A and B are shown apart, each in its own frame.
Chain A
């Protein structure tokens, strides 16, 4: 048997220019968010549907956030009807793992939990089936997704080929892996033989779907971001030629099902770290968490992501509190939606312009306002007139005095260093309890708006210990199995092992830039190249001595399920 499959992932993102084009270029090219969204749907998405309507034997995968489907259903009923026809015929499958194209691997799971539930309801309401195949915004992929996929009915993850190669070198991947209790494939062309059977798989397109039907144009250039008959024809010809050569133009799910008939039990996926699809050109997730883009003077990666972390904490507390009180207001759902939209990856990378940066900030600020108001209202309903301690774990509320400022300044327990260019950085440490220190880096405002800040923690080169996105506890990944020189980690709960019994935990509401790890040594560096040198900055870290469980408890108490005084 010779199986030949041609696969694709057309990754669409209706938040390609989050918040619209106003302020990007000349005023004549301003477009509202709605205009940009509509143009994406009509100029780049609908032509793809038309292509596949004309070829009823072809299958394909498109990926989009639930928000895009929501907009299609609300404003483009004819496009929705075409999509329903194609999915009803079994030709297209729509991948969707998040309601907004959010940087979900960088935040505690609560935001994604809300997102995936919302997504399910959007798909159900629109009459479009949600595929069991998964591909994500920015190609985000990580091992924490396996359990989340199982919990939510997803079957197979498409792991970006470059993220695989960046971590494991040029070793050829298997056709399919077991991935927890799910499966995983890579987006790499492969030819494999099994006894007398052969399998050939080729990927015809794994990229921004907006580019396919527009000849490579993107929505940042609205005057030329138009359907190109020539581009569509070229793709049609490419698929026709493959079909002529015996390839099935197929869906991912069809391919994986076919493999089950010819392959022995797939091996487990090799250990890899959370990442994104083009780690070479974006330096991993650094571009979204501290790395400079083209418009770096307007970027504020740390402001965007730390404010969102602050808002997510508040929402997590508000949700727990109201659930326990038995009065969950609809406004909380609205706030989670705002936060999901704000956590869109484009607010801090790859090359966000000012409008996108401020989109992320504005949505998070409003989500935070609502959450705080819900907390105040709920406290009043509970008869709490003064300050109270609110616990996100169980939603309990206990009247009490505010926390006192931490005292007990001590020498830095390990040799932490910091650099802010021409600005002086002050590092201080406070002992909170035995083996638990608060480390604060402070840098005053300077005169030059162009600034940077980095803080480095010494470590020893053992396992990489961190909590992958969508997981609840740290894992160990063998450093000597990784082929890169360096790698950036988002740290969903802020935790990263330093070796020697030490763990650093970033306070995400203060510093939420990526951690740089290397294979040469165990040192860890947090750096923000988008800092504004004419503004004062304070970063807060916790240093924890002890085992993984202790560090995880502190990380969760800080970033995931905090106990706060309000």
Chain B
């Protein structure tokens, strides 16, 4: 059991020693299927790239009246660390605003939808947990139209 724990802590060491203000190279691609608001699901991929992390959210089970679940969402993301709290690591991404779908009943009506992802990992565990937050309009703040809960394992692939 101890050995398994050390292996799980290994990715943490990479991040804990790095500059929290710069874009972090992820050494491995992390992937998994996350629950979305418990009943839904999405496949997440966090792939290293020169500019940070290529984040892909694909195969949503539903679109929550906000986006087309059949289309993958992609964005350049980054990893944030906390020098004073080395157990925590955060991966964030902002997806380019999606054009209004015009679908009746959509939370944003005729406004575009801006999605921001924030995933937390602690103590080097495969588990990630956080949010995919939808804002109506082109800003990534305000009162959200929806805070979708994301949880699950995203380990090295």
Please give the residue numbers on chain A whose beta carbons come within 8 Å of chain B beta carbons, in ascending order: 19, 22-23, 27, 30, 303, 307, 310, 329-331, 334-335, 337-338, 354-355, 358-359, 361-363, 365-366, 368-370, 372-373, 376, 379, 386-388, 402-403, 405, 423-424, 443-447, 507, 509-510, 535-538, 540, 558, 562, 564-566
The answer to whether B61 has its CB under 8 Å from any CB of chain A is no
Contact status A358-B151, CB under 8 Å: yes
Contact status B125-A355, CB under 8 Å: no
| A330–B139 CA distance with the chains assembled, in angstroms | 11
The answer to whether B142 has its CB under 8 Å from any CB of chain A is yes
User: Which residues of the partner chain A approach B131 to less than 8 Å between Cβ atoms?
Assistant: 361-363, 365-366
User: Which residues of the partner chain A approach B85 to less than 8 Å between Cβ atoms?
Assistant: 310, 507, 509-510
A23-B38, A507-B85 known; A444 vs B118 contact (CB < 8 Å): no
User: Which residues of the partner chain B approach A370 to less than 8 Å between Cβ atoms?
Assistant: 140-141
Residue of A330, A337, A370 with highest tally of chain B CB at under 10 A:
A370
Contact status B141-A446, CB under 8 Å: no
Contact status B4-A365, CB under 8 Å: no
User: Which one, A359, A444, A564, contacts B83 given CB within 8 A?
Assistant: A564
User: Which residues of the partner chain B approach A537 to less than 8 Å between Cβ atoms?
Assistant: 123
| A376–B92 CA distance with the chains assembled, in angstroms | 13
| A562–B85 CA distance with the chains assembled, in angstroms | 12
Contact status A303-B122, CB under 8 Å: yes
User: Which one, A338, A510, A565, contacts B20 given CB within 8 A?
Assistant: A565
Contact status B83-A27, CB under 8 Å: no
| A521–B1 CA distance with the chains assembled, in angstroms | 35
A387-B19, A387-B20, A538-B87 known; A366 vs B123 contact (CB < 8 Å): no
Contact status A444-B6, CB under 8 Å: yes
User: Which residues of the partner chain A approach B32 to less than 8 Å between Cβ atoms?
Assistant: none
4 closest A-B pairs by beta carbon, nearest first, are: A444-B5, A23-B38, A331-B141, A365-B130
Residues facing A in B93-152 (CB within 8 A) are 116, 118-120, 122-125, 127, 129-131, 133, 139-144, 147-151
Can you spell out 7 A-B residue pairs with CB atoms less than 8 angstroms apart?
A22-B38, A331-B141, A358-B149, A365-B131, A366-B144, A444-B8, A565-B84
Residue of A nearest to B2 (CB): A444
The answer to whether B90 has its CB under 8 Å from any CB of chain A is yes
| Additional A-B contacts beyond A354-B38, A565-B20 (10; CB < 8 A) | A19-B147, A307-B88, A334-B141, A337-B143, A355-B38, A387-B21, A424-B2, A445-B1, A565-B83, A566-B20
Residues facing A in B8-50 (CB within 8 A) are 8-9, 17, 19-21, 37-39
User: Which residues of the partner chain A approach B140 to less than 8 Å between Cβ atoms?
Assistant: 331, 370, 373
Contact status A423-B21, CB under 8 Å: no
Contact status A564-B82, CB under 8 Å: yes
Which of under 10, 10 to 19, 20 to 34, or 35 or more describes the interface residues of B? 35 or more
| A562–B43 CA distance with the chains assembled, in angstroms | 37
Contact status B38-A372, CB under 8 Å: no
| A515–B117 CA distance with the chains assembled, in angstroms | 34
Contact status A334-B143, CB under 8 Å: yes
Residue of B nearest to A511 (CB): B87
A334-B142, A365-B118, A366-B118 known; A445 vs B5 contact (CB < 8 Å): yes
User: Which residues of the partner chain A approach B6 to less than 8 Å between Cβ atoms?
Assistant: 444
| A379–B92 CA distance with the chains assembled, in angstroms | 18
Residue of B nearest to A353 (CB): B38
A22-B37, A368-B118, A445-B125 known; A403 vs B8 contact (CB < 8 Å): no
Contact status A310-B149, CB under 8 Å: no
| A355–B149 CA distance with the chains assembled, in angstroms | 8
Contact status A310-B141, CB under 8 Å: no
User: Which one, B8, B92, B148, contacts A362 given CB within 8 A?
Assistant: B148
| A366–B134 CA distance with the chains assembled, in angstroms | 11
CB proximity of A509 to chain B, nearest CB, Å: 4
Contact status B116-A536, CB under 8 Å: no
Residue of B116, B125, B149 with highest tally of chain A CB at under 10 A:
B149
User: Which one, B17, B83, B119, B129, contacts A358 given CB within 8 A?
Assistant: B129
A366-B147, A538-B123 known; A445 vs B4 contact (CB < 8 Å): yes
CB proximity of B135 to chain A, nearest CB, Å: 9
Contact status A361-B129, CB under 8 Å: yes
| A32–B112 CA distance with the chains assembled, in angstroms | 22
User: Which residues of the partner chain A approach B141 to less than 8 Å between Cβ atoms?
Assistant: 329-331, 334-335, 370
Residue of A nearest to B19 (CB): A387
Contact status B147-A362, CB under 8 Å: yes
User: Which residues of the partner chain B approach A507 to less than 8 Å between Cβ atoms?
Assistant: 85
Contact status A362-B84, CB under 8 Å: no
A27-B39, A334-B142, A566-B21 known; A363 vs B147 contact (CB < 8 Å): yes
Contact status B19-A402, CB under 8 Å: yes
Contact status B142-A372, CB under 8 Å: no
Contact status B129-A372, CB under 8 Å: no
A22-B39, A444-B5, A536-B123 known; A365 vs B129 contact (CB < 8 Å): yes
Residue of A nearest to B90 (CB): A368
| A363–B116 CA distance with the chains assembled, in angstroms | 12
Contact status A365-B119, CB under 8 Å: yes
| A387–B19 CA distance with the chains assembled, in angstroms | 8
CB proximity of A67 to chain B, nearest CB, Å: 11
Residue of B nearest to A341 (CB): B147
Contact status B1-A444, CB under 8 Å: yes
Contact status B5-A536, CB under 8 Å: yes
User: Digit string of B40-76 for contact with A (CB within 8 Å is 1, else 0)?
Assistant: 0000000000000000000000000000000000000
Residue of B nearest to A331 (CB): B141
| A424–B80 CA distance with the chains assembled, in angstroms | 30
| A537–B127 CA distance with the chains assembled, in angstroms | 12
User: Which one, B2, B92, B133, contacts A372 given CB within 8 A?
Assistant: B92
User: Which residues of the partner chain A approach B118 to less than 8 Å between Cβ atoms?
Assistant: 365-366, 368-369
Contact status A509-B21, CB under 8 Å: no
User: Which residues of the partner chain B approach A444 to less than 8 Å between Cβ atoms?
Assistant: 1-2, 4-6, 8
| A448–B6 CA distance with the chains assembled, in angstroms | 17
User: Which residues of the partner chain A approach B123 to less than 8 Å between Cβ atoms?
Assistant: 535-538
User: Which residues of the partner chain B approach A565 to less than 8 Å between Cβ atoms?
Assistant: 20, 83-84
| A371–B124 CA distance with the chains assembled, in angstroms | 23
User: Which residues of the partner chain B approach A23 to less than 8 Å between Cβ atoms?
Assistant: 37-39
User: Which one, B87, B116, B120, contacts A510 given CB within 8 A?
Assistant: B87
| A443–B90 CA distance with the chains assembled, in angstroms | 22
User: Which residues of the partner chain A approach B142 to less than 8 Å between Cβ atoms?
Assistant: 330-331, 334
Residue of B6, B19, B118 with highest tally of chain A CB at under 10 A:
B118
| A535–B125 CA distance with the chains assembled, in angstroms | 6
